[in-house]
Amino acid sequence: MNFFQRTGPMALGSRLRQMSERMTQEAARIYGMYDLEMEPRWFPVLYSLGQNDGQSVAQLAEDIGHSQASVSQIIKEMAKQDYITITKGTTDARKTIVTLSDKSRQQLPALDTQMKDVAMAVETMLAQTQHNLWKALDELDYYLDQQGLFDRVNQQRKQRESQQVVIVPYSEEYHDAFRSLNVEWITTYFKMEAADYQALDRPNEKILDRGGFIYIALYEGEPLGCCALIKMDDYTYELAKMAVSPKAQGKHMGYLLGKSILQKAKELGAEKVYLESNTLLKPAIRLYHKLGFQQVQGYQSPYERCNIQMEVKL
């Protein structure tokens, strides 16, 4: 069993790179067969200029789907072999204009013949395959445009790590964590206020004994997140004191805490859940919207830092 049979699709990049190297070697031999003294990597630039001569580096890069740095490197190589000429733009001296040289134009008929033969050979080969590789590459490009491989892998990592997050009810053993997690995030952006000290120093008295609830989020047994539900009246609760350690970023801990606290609010008979925040905390605001919260007005807040109020109907 070869390497790619053992790894499967996980090694897609390596497989494509190996295939690219193989096709490049084949292309070099094919150019030699037609007495074309050129590097395979020059082909996109040469073909583009053959269709529309006198382009800038930026235009070439856009046309062939390369970076400008890559195109600049290619045209330097081509210029050394007298395949192109490089001049400054007549209206904008900052632009580099690339045109075909006489040497290139003399080789265009041979290149045109070669391209026709290559096209027929490739189409015949693709017709023999069970899966059309060219169409598959178009599909792969499309889905990578929707979401790159990096983001897809990062999403899988987050999903895997979020499965290791355990949400548990508050108990005295988590008091220090509940306090320190909140102090950490509050002092990162704002300052501690009197209402903060009251709730964090005496959570039993200020939250639990009044009909509220607190959840703690554990990751590998370590308390790295928390969220409280404070009773406002028989049908309204406040989502408060949500904090997640920077160590737990990317594990969906805030979302899992929010979903758990909203479910608990339903169990307690709440009809809506209210919260206070600050628009400076953009990730938090996005999370609240994701949880279904919408902006409201009219509540009195004990916090100076509060500049947005939100609620969700259950």
Give residue-wise pLDDT tens across range 207-225: 999 999 999 999 999 999 9
For residue 154, being part of any structural domain is answered with: no
| Average pLDDT in the chain | 91
Residue 94 has pLDDT above 80, yes or no: no
| CB of 273 closer than 8 Å to CB of 237 | yes
Give the pLDDT score at 269. Answer: 94
Residue 137: the pLDDT is 87
- Whether residue 151 is contained in a domain is answered as no
The pLDDT of residue 171 is 95
The whole-number average pLDDT for the span 253-264 is: 96
- Please name the residues in contact with 5: beta carbons below 8 A apart, sequence gap of 6 or more: none
**Do 200 and 283 belong to one domain?**
yes
In a domain, 152, yes or no: no
CA–CA dist 173, 169 (Å, integer): 11
Q: Which of 203, 183, 184, 202 is nearest to 193 (CA)?
A: 183
Is the per-residue pLDDT at 167 higher than 90?
Answer: yes
Q: In this structure, is residue 136 part of a structural domain? A: no
pLDDT of residue 132: 87
Q: Are 121 and 68 in the same domain?
A: yes
Domain limits at 273?
164-313
Give the pLDDT band of residue 314 (cuts 50, 70, 90): very high
Q: What is the mean pLDDT of residues 162-175?
A: 93
pLDDT digits 0-9 by tens, 279-293? 999 999 999 999 999
Helix, strand, or coil here: 213? strand
Compute the distance between CA of residue 4 and CA of residue 132 in angstroms, rounded to an integer. 20
Q: Which of 131, 155, 177 is the last residue of a domain?
A: 131
pLDDT in tens, 35-57: 988 899 999 999 999 999 999 99
Tell me the CATH number at 295. 3.40.630.30
What pLDDT was estimated at residue 1? 57
CB 203 within 8 A of CB 234: no
What is the total count of domains within the chain? 2
Residue matched to tokens 């060219």: 134
Question: Which of 131, 151, 175 is the C-terminal boundary of a domain?
Answer: 131
Residues 127 and 58 in one domain: yes
Residue 74 lies in a domain: yes
pLDDT category at 235 given cuts 50, 70, 90 is: very high
* pLDDT (0 to 100) of residue 163: 85
3-class DSSP assignment, residue 296: strand
pLDDT band per the 50, 70, 90 thresholds, residue 93:
low
- Rg of the chain on CA atoms, in Å: 31
Q: What is the pLDDT of residues 181-210, one digit of tens each?
A: 999 999 999 999 999 999 999 999 999 999
